[in-house]
Amino acid sequence: MSNIVGSVLPAPAIKSTVRGLQNVQARTVAIGAPKSMGDLSDVDLSAVGDGALLVYNGVLQKFVANPELNNSNTKIVGGSF
């Protein structure tokens, strides 16, 4: 059985010890400053503007910003009053 020991310390040091494994694959993980939604690969903000909404487009397989809801699959349910 393998022993994996690790510790996460305040940036930037991460320490670990791995015993009993023949193949070890290491990966660097960096957590930086907050990002914008536009940095996501599945979000299209080309039509973003005041009042725009993000609606998923199944053809493009992306969330697309649009100021108008023009999709027959979109339903807005406001509840019962």
Domain boundaries, the chain: 3-66
**Confidence (pLDDT) at 17:** 65
pLDDT in tens, the chain (81 residues): 556 666 666 666 566 666 666 666 667 777 777 688 888 899 999 999 999 999 999 999 999 999 888 888 888 888 888
Determine which helix (DSSP H) or strand (DSSP E) holds 53, and give its type and residue range.
strand 53-57
Task: Please spell the DSSP secondary structure of 15-46, one letter per residue.
Answer: EEEEES-S----------S---GGGSTTEE-T
pTM: 0.52
